């Protein structure tokens, strides 16, 4: 039905993720690391938005945010997250679910320092997710931050940090002709060994 190889069930899921991400970085026109991040309130009301993945290894998948934002508050109140990568150019997607833990202060500081000065000042000036009566207010706050810090160091706000999604569920999906797709899921409890299963499309 297709020349595409089936998903290799003997693969390590992190290694397979990196293989697919590397291929997406070649074929996607923009932001191969864009990921839909789904959070929910303590009573289960979901919300989702796009972020950029900023780290991935055997420990988990790292995103950064303002903890005063809606997503930040929801993560703190209900530390379980679902991620979705979709690469249209490759007709692939990866779904990831798991609990969330904060990154270390050192990790957050290092990533914050790697951002452009304007992005760092924006993180200081923005009350993310809060009502903004006039765009000019935010722009003035940005100018005030620029004046305060000048060309000196720009400190990371304590409410701006990262979270690591520690996966207990990773599903790989590959489009195939006639909707006879290939799906496989790796699942585990805690740090136990992965169980892998192919799924009906």
Q: Report the binding-site residues.
A: 49-54, 64-65, 70-71, 93, 111, 115, 119, 128-129, 173, 179-181, 183
For residue 179, indicate whether it is catalytic.
Answer: yes
User: Could you give the CA distance from residue 113 to residue 94 in angstroms, rounded to a whole number?
Assistant: 30
Q: Which residue has the tokens 């000048």?
A: 150
> Is 81 exposed, middle or buried, given 0-12, 13-18 or 19+ CB atoms closer than 10 A?
buried
Q: Give the annotated binding-site residues for substrate.
A: 54, 111, 115, 119, 179-181
Q: Cβ distance 138 to 122 under 8 Å?
A: no
* Residue 12 near residue 187 (C-beta atoms within 8 A): no
CB 167 within 8 A of CB 185: no
Q: Quick check: 89 and 23 in contact, CB under 8 A?
A: no
**Choice among 130, 176, 179, 198 that is catalytic:** 179
**Region for 117 from its dihedrals, namely left if φ exceeds 0, alpha if ψ lies in -120 to 50, beta otherwise:** alpha
Q: Is 51 helix (H, G, I), strand (E, B) or coil?
A: strand
Strand partners, 37: 49, 83
Element (H, E) at 27: helix 13-27
| DSSP for residue 14 | H
Which residues are marked as active site? Answer: 179
């Amino acid at each position: 039905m297709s020349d595409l190889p089936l998903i290799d069930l003997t693969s390590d899921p992190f290694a397979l993720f990196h293989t697919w991400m590397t291929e997406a970085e070649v074929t996607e026109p923009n932001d191969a690391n864009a990921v839909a991040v789904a959070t929910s309130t303590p009573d289960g009301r979901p919300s989702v938005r796009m972020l950029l993945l900023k780290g991935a290894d055997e420990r988990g998948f790292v995103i950064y945010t303002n903890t005063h934002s809606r997503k930040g508050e929801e993560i703190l109140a209900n530390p379980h997250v679902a991620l979705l990568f979709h690469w249209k150019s490759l007709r692939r997607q990866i779904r990831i679910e798991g609990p969330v833990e904060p990154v270390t202060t050192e990790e957050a500081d290092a990533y914050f320092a790697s951002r452009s000065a304007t992005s760092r000042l924006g993180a200081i000036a923005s009350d993310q997710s809060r009502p903004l009566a006039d765009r000019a207010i935010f722009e003035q706050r940005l100018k005030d931050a620029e004046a305060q810090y000048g060309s000196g160091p720009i400190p990371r706000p304590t409410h701006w940090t990262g979270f690591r999604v520690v996966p207990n569920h990773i599903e790989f999906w590959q489009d195939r002709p006639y909707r006879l797709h290939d799906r496989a899921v790796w699942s585990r409890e805690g740090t136990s060994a992965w169980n892998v299963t192919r799924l009906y499309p």
